[in-house]
Structure 1
Amino acid sequence: MPIVKLNDGAELYYEVSGEGKPVLFLHGVWMSSRFFQKQVPYFREGYQTITLDFRGHGQSSAIDSGHTVANYARDVKQFIQHLGLKDVTLLGWSMGAFVIWEYISQFGEDNIKATVIVDELASDYKWEDFEIGAFDLPTLTSMMRDLQTDQKSLLAGFIPLMFKEEVSPHNMEWMLAETTRLPATTASAILFDQSLIDCRPYLSLITVPTLLCFGKEEKLIPVAAGEHLNREIIHSRLELFEKSCHCPFLEEPDQFNHKVDSFLKSLDGS
């Protein structure tokens, strides 16, 4: 099983396939690299396609410390160095976007060719000056408590909110299996941190080309979030997916793959 061992002993599971410019896929909170199953077969034909499970998630080691977005960014830095990746495109879905922005805040854009942001706000929290946030304090508190008392039921209610259409029993089964790999303590820790991080100050630091991919169904994230990012990130382009909610890469995979592929090819003028 391919593993990168980090300085603090955490072990990150990853998979690499294909050859070409590297594209690193970064998943959302509680999720795993398995959610990108419809991207790997497509992108490995023209890119070095890399999927990664954050510490504590998926098939990575079940370490009980280090669960902050800032630390996940440091993990990604170590991972990139370990694999010797050059001119990397970072594709971050949901919390994965926060990890990208925190990475750029800490380490700059050296060695980063481009970013792809999938359905995330500059902050999930409803700050007084950020009304489009996804969570207020009562909602976050309720989710934290439910994680401690009935994690599986919370996830069974949360997963359908990520999709425009009804989730099939087969998809619900594997998604619940993936998201319940995390113990409730880990799930609570990273939910709290990623829900309160405010990346708005980081957006002006981003100068690499950026593709913003947002679903038009607004069960979780409003389209206004993508419009806000498009205004704040100077070299960004917003793509909306008509038949998607939070997961356009699973809901409209052909269109998503094509849009991302076209964006990446445009960077080289092809």
Structure 2
Amino acid sequence: MPFFAHNDSEIYYEVAGSGDAILFTHGASWDHAQWRPQVEELSNDYKTIVWDVRGHGKSTLPDRKVDSEEFSSDLIALLQHLGIKQAHLCGLSMGGHISLQTAIRYPSYVQSLLLIGTPFTNTYNWFEKLAIPLNRLSSRFIPMSLMASIQAKTLSTFNKNNADYIKKSVHSIPHKQWVRIWDAVSRMESKEDLHKVSCPTLILQGDHDTMTARQQKEMANKIPQATLVYIENAHHATNLDNPVQVNKQIMKHLVSLERF
């Protein structure tokens, strides 16, 4: 199986297809398999890369405090490992925020961004300033089995097949490991840096996704070359809920860039 070592972790990845590179980054507590519907279609025309963020799936996590800056550092190290000088970055939720921070910190590596259900801050309003710290605390006491069941039920309304995948991926993470991961993820902040994104950006938002909806219009307004598109019949597992529409929008975005 393909792994590479970086910053005390073994990072798992998969590559399919050829052409311009698209690197997909999954949401928190999920893994690379989230992107199967996209890889199956897009790898016919592009080089698709999926990976497990450190501490998720098959990637390891060192026994120390998790630094969220390592997420984007790992992403760049993966591109370097594969000899890719520039790629389109697509991510959902945490994966979108990692992609966003990569474009801010390593702009020369990023050809464009595709952000799905992506938060850019954990302190957007009074609700988040109150709820996120409480959520961070409660994660210490909620078993992964319960968390997996709640996620699976909540995020399989539009696609019943989501439930088995979500349960398996969430439950595979050891609880003590998840607490450290979530502490880092829930402190990621990019609200003062959105204007630094210099590449074309497509923002996709599920029309029933209440988890990140409040941040999307502001992100679209503050990123210079951003376009916001809503995906029908989709919650936070947007790319799994409506893969046909998501794939169509991704292809439309990529093809539009090939004209220049």
Structure 2 match to 1:137: 133
Which 10-residue stretch deviates more, 172-181 or 45-54?
A: 172-181
Structure 2 match to 1:151: 144
Q: CA deviation at 1:164?
A: 4.1
Structure 1 unmatched ranges of 5 or more: none
Which 10-residue stretch deviates more, 57-66 or 23-32?
A: 57-66
SS, match of residue 11 in structure 1: strand
Relative to 1, partners in 2 of residues 1:243 and 1:227: Cα closer, same or farther, differing over 3 Å? Answer: same
Check conservation: 1:62, 1:182, Cα contact below 8 A. no
Q: Distance in 2 between matches of 1:258 and 1:60?
A: 30
Q: Distance in 1 between matches of 2:235 and 2:254?
A: 23
Q: CA deviation at 1:145?
A: 2.3
Check conservation: 1:3, 1:11, Cα contact below 8 A. yes
Q: CA deviation at 1:151?
A: 1.5
Structure 1 match to 2:153: 160
Relative to 1, partners in 2 of residues 1:50 and 1:66: Cα closer, same or farther, differing over 3 Å? Answer: farther
Relative to 1, partners in 2 of residues 1:47 and 1:133: Cα closer, same or farther, differing over 3 Å? Answer: farther
Check conservation: 1:27, 1:92, Cα contact below 8 A. yes
Q: Distance in 1 between matches of 2:220 and 2:243?
A: 22
Q: Distance in 1 between matches of 2:234 and 2:122?
A: 19
Check conservation: 1:210, 1:237, Cα contact below 8 A. yes
Is 1:59 the equivalent of 2:50?
no
Check conservation: 1:123, 1:200, Cα contact below 8 A. yes
Relative to 1, partners in 2 of residues 1:69 and 1:160: Cα closer, same or farther, differing over 3 Å? Answer: farther
Q: Distance in 2 between matches of 1:69 and 1:121?
A: 14
Amino-acid identity (%): 22
Is 1:255 the equivalent of 2:256?
no
Q: Distance in 2 between matches of 1:135 and 1:120?
A: 17
Q: CA deviation at 1:218?
A: 3.3
Structure 1 match to 2:9: 10
Structure 2 match to 1:117: 115
Structure 2 match to 1:46: 45
Check conservation: 1:95, 1:120, Cα contact below 8 A. yes
Check conservation: 1:69, 1:102, Cα contact below 8 A. no
Structure 2 unmatched ranges of 5 or more: none
Q: CA RMSD in A?
A: 2.1
Query: Which of 224, 236, 244 is the matching residue for 2:234?
Result: 244
Question: Residue deviations 1:52-85, cap 9 Å, x none?
Answer: 1111211223543463321111111111111111
Which 10-residue stretch deviates more, 46-55 or 98-107?
A: 98-107
Q: CA deviation at 1:143?
A: 2.9
TM-score normalised to structure 1 length: 0.89
TM-score normalised to structure 2 length: 0.92
SS, match of residue 28 in structure 1: coil
Query: Which of 190, 195, 201 is the matching residue for 1:210?
Result: 201
Check conservation: 1:88, 1:114, Cα contact below 8 A. yes
Q: Distance in 1 between matches of 2:42 and 2:208?
A: 26
Q: CA deviation at 1:92?
A: 1.2
Q: CA deviation at 1:240?
A: 0.1
Relative to 1, partners in 2 of residues 1:209 and 1:177: Cα closer, same or farther, differing over 3 Å? Answer: same
Question: Residue deviations 1:121-174, cap 9 Å, x none?
Answer: 21134554xx5679343233223321xxx2211221123333443x63x54233
Q: Distance in 2 between matches of 1:158 and 1:249?
A: 15
Is 1:175 the equivalent of 2:166?
yes
SS, match of residue 139 in structure 2: helix
